[in-house]
Amino acid sequence: DKGLAVFTSGGDSQGMNAAVRACVRMAIYLGCKVYFIREGYQGMVDGGDCIQEASWSSVSSIIHRGGTIIGSARCKDFRERAGRLKAANNLVQRGITNLVVIGGDGSLTGANLFRQEWSSLLDELEKNKSITPEQKNKYNVLHIVGLVGSIDNDFCGTDMTIGTDTALHRIIEAIDAIASTAYSHQRTFIMEVMGRHCGYLALVGGLACEADFIFIPEMPPKVDWPDRLCTQLAQERSAGQRLNIVIVAEGASDREGNPITAEQVRKVIDERLKHDARITVLGHVQRGGNPSAFDRVLACRMGAEATLALMEATPESVPVVISLDGNQTVRVPLMECVERTQAVAKAMAERRWADAVKLRGRS
Ligand code: ADP
């Protein structure tokens, strides 16, 4: 009688559906009642039709679809205790005490707070007669497990987040397409890719497409970057290369914290080298399309492991996030990872780049 619910929250990423499918099917296989919560925390607060029982067939034919079929949202109400009180009532009324949250560090932080507050929320619900003393006793512990859906690979504690590999596919498809036309006309293309705090997509996309220059937030160049950039591009051209590719992550800046934008880079190249330089901003294309084989399989493994972790949880267990370590799916303490991830963002905001790189570790 362990009711389990799965929801997706915050920014979407390709592979979330595969994770939802695996959670649902593993839960049914283990004999649990399993629910979808639509539209993330908003659906949990609103209740009603937003919380629906899932079946084996309700997750058929979704493994190949990008985005999330159960919807995702940002929810102000859940940031307030009053919203979380409503959410707790909606869960207790359905006998749900196990949650799989698929989202970024914000969603995982919210889930951890909800878990910590759970017994005081139930006390309040009992006091105002929304739930019975029997319900309070029966459902007195909330278990949560996190899965990280993010195209940026910006979460500490896992080698890969769900969606990153697919986003890289979108990036390299776009760069390959651009490279063929750039070659014909001897152009220089400046590609802006996502990554406000994390340059993983820019760096790995650049490596895979032999970019000539890459700007990432973690390794800000000195303010004389235009000289280095132009020397590098000029060298490539004089060695016979007919095109240049420069990649700029959204959050790139110089060492003094001045943003480096694709337009600034274009202007420098145009003015100093007189190249025909064009900008392509990949934007939401990176979030779109069908998940890669890697993301489908990663999400399946993580989703199944999340359900297993919930079924094995005891009132004393620490909430975990399911991570990839080497090629193993492992359970790691959720708040340790969230705190490290937030410390990276803080270090970057304070421009302590070396600390940020150290904190991020392998991921
Ligand atoms: P992500 O999960 O992708 O990092 P957000 O940071 O926007 O995205 O978080 C998604 C949602 O999670 C928020 O809209 C809010 O409902 C919930 N949330 C985030 N942080 C908290 C928090 N500190 N307390 C309660 N809820 C939170």
* Per-residue model confidence as pLDDT tens digits over 39-54: 999 999 999 999 999 9
Ligand 1: atom nearest CA of 41 is: 16
Per-residue confidence (pLDDT) for residue 293, from 0 to 100:
98
ipTM greater than 0.85:
yes
Confidence band (pLDDT; 50, 70, 90) for 354? Answer: confident
341 C-beta closer than 6 A to ligand 1: no
Catalytic residues: 152
Flag whether 80 is marked binding: no
In whole angstroms, give the CA distance from residue 182 to residue 188.
7
In whole angstroms, give the CA distance from residue 301 to residue 299.
5
pLDDT of 179 over the 60 cut: yes
In whole angstroms, give the CA distance from residue 176 to residue 243.
12
pLDDT of 1 over the 70 cut: no
Rounded to an integer, the average pLDDT of 288-317 is: 97
Q: Which residues of 34-68 are buried (b: 16+ CB within 10 A; e: fewer)?
A: bbbbbbbbbbbbbbeebbbebeeebbeebbebbbb
Per-residue confidence (pLDDT) for residue 363, from 0 to 100:
54
Q: Cα of 176 to ligand 1 centre, how many Å?
A: 36
Flag whether 94 is marked binding: no
Rounded to an integer, the average pLDDT of 198-226 is: 96
| pLDDT tens, position by position, 243-282 | 999 999 999 999 999 999 999 999 999 999 999 999 999 9
Per-residue confidence (pLDDT) for residue 286, from 0 to 100:
96
Ligand 1: atom nearest CA of 42 is: 16
Q: Mean pLDDT of all residues in the chain?
A: 95
Q: Cα of 144 to ligand 1 centre, how many Å?
A: 15
Start-end of H helices in 186-248: 200-208, 225-238
State what percent of residues in the chain have pLDDT above 90: 92
pLDDT of 214 over the 90 cut: yes
Rounded to an integer, the average pLDDT of 310-328 is: 95
Which of 327, 325, 349, 352 minimizes the C-alpha distance to 337?
325
Q: Cα of 143 to ligand 1 centre, how many Å?
A: 18
Q: Cα of 109 to ligand 1 centre, how many Å?
A: 7
43 C-beta closer than 6 A to ligand 1: no
Flag whether 120 is marked binding: no
Place of tokens 């004999």: 31
Flag whether 74 is marked binding: yes
| pLDDT tens, position by position, 216-244 | 999 999 999 999 999 999 999 999 999 99
221 C-beta closer than 6 A to ligand 1: no
9 C-beta closer than 6 A to ligand 1: yes
Kindly write down the DSSP assignment for every residue of 251-267, as one continuous string. T-B-TTS-B--HHHHHH
Ligand 1: atom nearest CA of 108 is: 2
Of 16, 74, 105, 155, the one to substitute when testing ligand 1's pocket (max ligand atoms within 8 A of C-beta) is 74
Q: Cα of 78 to ligand 1 centre, how many Å?
A: 8
Q: Cα of 149 to ligand 1 centre, how many Å?
A: 13
114 C-beta closer than 6 A to ligand 1: no
Around Cβ 274, how many Cβ atoms within 10 Å? 8
Per-residue confidence (pLDDT) for residue 337, from 0 to 100:
94
Flag whether 212 is marked binding: no
| Closest Cα to atom 1 of ligand 1 | 104
Per-residue confidence (pLDDT) for residue 324, from 0 to 100:
97
Strand boundaries in the chain, DSSP class E: 3-8, 34-37, 51-53, 96-103, 143-148, 188-193, 213-215, 244-249, 277-281, 320-325, 328-333
Rounded to an integer, the average pLDDT of 30-40 is: 97
Of 72, 78, 85, the one to substitute when testing ligand 1's pocket (max ligand atoms within 8 A of C-beta) is 78
Q: Cβ(281)–Cβ(247) under 8 Å?
A: no
Confidence band (pLDDT; 50, 70, 90) for 361? Answer: confident
Q: Cα of 312 to ligand 1 centre, how many Å?
A: 26
Flag whether 196 is marked binding: yes
Flag whether 325 is marked binding: no
| Closest Cα to atom 8 of ligand 1 | 10
3-state secondary structure of 115: helix
Ligand 1: atom nearest CA of 104 is: 2
Q: Say what the pTM is.
A: 0.95
Confidence band (pLDDT; 50, 70, 90) for 195? Answer: confident
- The answer to which of 24-28, 62-66, 290-294, 358-362 has the lowest mean pLDDT is 358-362
pLDDT of 112 over the 60 cut: yes
